[in-house]
Amino acid sequence: EAGVTQFPSHSVIEKGQTVTLRCDPISGHDNLYWYRRVMGKEIKFLLHFVKESKQDESGMPNNRFLAERTGGTYSTLKVQPAELEDSGVYFCASSQPGLASYEQYFGPGTRLTVT
Amino acid sequence: EDKVVQSPLSLVVHEGDTVTLNCSYEVTNFRSLLWYKQEKKAPTFLFMLTSSGIEKKSGRLSSILDKKELFSILNITATQTGDSAVYLCAVVTSGTYKYIFGTGTRLKVLA
């Protein structure tokens, strides 16, 4: 079974540019999560999709961040325009359908560097 | 504000040593606590603990939760160089599925 995949593995952009990160969850996993780790800090929750619906987006830092999951399969996270403080590692995770599943499977992350 | 604190931040031991990693939490409506191991990229699941006092074991790793004192420990016995990683503790609260992470403990095992 393929795990959670993320693309790209590393992105370097200039301040003010736009970047789109992609996450492909494990097949059949309705739940998809985005997290972010900035330098020296803990991993922090950004948002949670159940299929194509945003279940919880309480962690999204501001309106420069837009997450989508059209069709309930893969998800994208767009940052526009990027700022220096957006640099960090963006993790995606997925989990099985249903209320009882708390075990999340993580992808390898996308390292975003904004210069 | 919900908080998860891990200690120590980092640890260097020699092969064969036993280590204990700590995770304390202050959250409302605790549901479960999870441990993950992150070697290079993706964190991988180790344990999920929901009830106090029940030890979970997997090989040389074990973990237990104390819901009265609000902490968990992760023990690794007879450490090997392959145990070198960042160990992450995360808490889930009722009514949500998002993880609240600690900063992690970086373990280095020397040959």
**pLDDT one-digit tens code per residue, B33-82:** 999 999 988 999 999 999 999 999 999 999 999 999 999 999 999 999 99
**pLDDT one-digit tens code per residue, B6-38:** 999 999 999 999 999 999 999 999 999 999 999
Q: Does the beta-carbon distance from B101 to A44 stay under 8 Å? A: yes
What values do phi and psi take at A55, rounded to 5?
A: -85, -40
Q: Does the beta-carbon distance from A42 to B101 stay under 8 Å? A: yes
CA-nearest residue to A99 within chain B is: B97
What values do phi and psi take at A28, rounded to 5?
A: 90, -10
**pLDDT one-digit tens code per residue, A18-42:** 999 999 999 999 999 999 999 889 9
**What pairs with residue B95 in β-bridges?**
none
Cβ proximity of A47 and A54 under 8 Å: yes
Q: Does the beta-carbon distance from B42 to A4 stay under 8 Å? A: yes
Cβ proximity of B100 and A45 under 8 Å: yes
Rounded to the nearest angstrom, the minimum Cα separation between A32 and chain B is 10
* Degrees to nearest 5, angle at CA A79 with A77 and A84: 135
Q: Residue A99 — pLDDT band, cuts 50, 70, 90?
A: low
Q: Does the beta-carbon distance from A41 to B103 stay under 8 Å? A: yes
